[in-house]
Amino acid sequence: MIVESAAKAKTLGKFLGKNYKVKASVGHVKDLPKSKLGIDVEDNFEPKYITIRGKGDILKEIKDNAQKVSKVLLATDPDREGEAIAWHLRNAIKIDSETKCRIEFNEITKDAVKQAIKNSRTIDMNRVNAQQARRILDRLVGYNLSPLLWSKVRKGLSAGRVQSVAVRLICERETEINNFLPEEYWTIQLKVEDENKHIFLARLNNYKGKKLEINNETEKSEIISELEKANLTVEKVVTKEKRRKPNPPFTTSTLQQEASKRLNFMAKRTMRVAQELYEGLEIGKQGTIGLITYLRTDSIRVSSTAQAEALEYINDEFGKEYAPKTPNEYKSKKAAQDAHESIRPTSASRSPQSLKQYLSRDQFRLYKLIWERFIASQMTPAVYDTISVDISAGDYGIRASSSQLKFPGYKKVYNDNEEEEIKNPIPELTKGQELFLNELLPEQHFTQPPPRFTEASLVKLLEEKNIGRPSTYAPIIDTILRRNYVERQNKQFIPTELGYIVVELLKDNFSNIIDVEFTARMEENLDLIEEGELDWKQVIKDFYSPFEDEMEKAQELIEKIEIKDEEAGKDCPECEKPILIKHGRFGKFLACSGFPDCRHTESYTEEVGVNCPVCQGEIIALKTKKGRKFFGCKNYPECDFKTWNKPTGELCPQCSNAMVEKTSKNKDVHAICQNNECKYKKEMGVEVATD
């Protein structure tokens, strides 16, 4: 049996027995060459695959072992990439195309693998061709556009078919934010009371039955004046029970979004940890077990076996009122490939707490998220008692609402925070009852620009726009960050000057490459190739002909764009010429402007502008090996001060620890004490809380 990863091979080897040898291809073994295009454009886009450098010995070992066994099973991942790897392996081993050598399973458990072996099949060439089409399209774009960017913008740049669209979305959002003009508006809440002095909150929401907008202070004052004189009368009271159904189990996209919001995981980190959980871990006496199903999926389907096991677990652990009479069913969106199940635990009975001692911190946190979401998806709805009261005040309409959780249902396991209780106790009221105004609470607001994309919101938009597929979201984000087209600040993506330049160049000269709808249609075409409804080479031909014409025009029309290097604010110690901030393969660095006569270089450090609270040295911004930003003293190792949050340069007046910046959910910036046991904080230089 040939799989992709060594970890998966190890897991399978432990429960398949002595009649099987399990070998790992370690990903792709064949690919297009790096040094040239590798596609014969004149011969109907025929690809020229070669053995990937470093994979020769692996391929030789696989071939040698294949000669010594009675049957070879290709058990690469159950997706297009896995199908293509299996196809390359079949050709390398010289297995007949009609041989049923391909097996696939969505979870690495003994039963799932045994069932897969019984249902072996031939290689699915439609799936292979869909992968080939994507690979060749990306190569044609990358190997033609990258040299153009080198000659017109900056050496070392590259452009991708899907990544460029992601950068465009981020640039357009930033432009929208910069062009945004805030508009004033007011809201008015009222404290209302009945004859028994029970006070509750209501909100002004209409005038003569039409939605009311209060645009300035003058309008607000006029309305308040009228409300103060008006008689308040109950017009309608509606009490009802509201049921909130659980969300479906995770897809790749929703897992990345929730892991980003709840665990602060980047998409790349989420996929790496999920891969470990899928491939299998040593769980005490149980041996090595795959803990979750396949992690690259856009389906929310759940097998009937998994549903039955989940219902049994829910009934035993929480009681029959938490288990629905029939399993909860979820329908995947229309564009979903639905080739796999959703991401779920391989066994509902393996609770996170029972596995905690065997998992790393990251593995435990992600498994807990996946397990809780799946169990919750199979539970009964949460039930709320809601009250809605419509109140008239002359020509004005006022509404009061209250919502109280009556039965937690799925929220017993997984609180999605999408609907919180409205704790506004409303007394028993009847139609026509008179109420009294206790206090008016007007509040001024200004419309806010759309937020910058976070990793979670970008992945969500890519999925909504049908750009990329589950396996591509993490690489897209990783690539645009590495290429310095965008930067990440406070979890938000901000386009760089380089990102703007490349997007504008592509928009002006390659309208299809950078077009959201065109890219989405291409994804649909790839799906149709997989379904056998389109010829893959025809799809490439239809794309390449206009693209080739655009390339020829662009070479002639685009003028050289000069991006001036930013001055670092200091002079070269060797020749006294200004030092510049340069961009290289590994990020920013400092170099003398006198290059090539002077070759002085320095590593780049971002100075924060505050002194170390311990030794008064300069605080600089640094990055961990995984790319996470932190702050430390420039005098390290003599001074080992470091913190995840930006220091303010002040010491806490209560405990003398360092004060650091912290941004709240409403975007307010506080200075808080770094000592978790001290709750002192300041807002905009003003003390707001001490403990």
Catalytic residues: 294
Dihedral sign, CA of 108, 109, 112, 118? positive
Query: 3 - beta bridge partners?
Result: 24
Please, are residues 540 and 137 in contact by the beta-carbon 8 Å criterion?
Answer: yes
DSSP state, residue 177:
H
Measured between alpha carbons, how far is 409 from 426 in angstroms, rounded to an integer? 24
Indicate the SS3 state at residue 481: helix
> Which tokens belong to 105?
């399973």
Token pair 């169990």 is found at: 375
Cβ atoms within 10 Å, residue 177: 14
For 598-625, the three-class secondary structure string (H helix, E strand, C coil) is: CCCEEECCEEEEEECCCCCCEEEEEECC
Measured between alpha carbons, how far is 203 from 198 in angstroms, rounded to an integer? 17
**Residue 327, CB-side half-sphere exposure with 13 Å CA sphere:** 18
Measured between alpha carbons, how far is 515 from 172 in angstroms, rounded to an integer? 12
Rounded to a whole number of angstroms, the CA Rg of the chain reads: 30
> Which residues does 325 contact at the CB level (< 8 Å), separation at least 6?
none
Pairing relation of β-strands 686-689 and 681-683?
Answer: antiparallel
Measured between alpha carbons, how far is 97 from 90 in angstroms, rounded to an integer? 8
Cβ atoms within 10 Å, residue 119: 11
Please, are residues 328 and 246 in contact by the beta-carbon 8 Å criterion?
Answer: yes
Token pair 């009222």 is found at: 190
Which amino acid appears at position 488 of this protein? R
> Which residues does 214 contact at the CB level (< 8 Å), separation at least 6?
185, 186, 187, 188, 220, 223
CA-to-CA dists, residue 552 to 41, 148, 510, 557, angstroms:
16, 10, 11, 9
H/E run at residue 204: strand 199-207
> Which residues does 49 contact at the CB level (< 8 Å), separation at least 6?
30, 31, 32, 38, 88
- Measure CA of the first residue to CA of the last residue in the chain; give whole Å: 63
> Which tokens belong to 359?
């998992």
- Helix then strand count (H, E) for the chain reads 17, 30
Please, are residues 264 and 456 in contact by the beta-carbon 8 Å criterion?
Answer: no
Measured between alpha carbons, how far is 309 from 305 in angstroms, rounded to an integer? 6
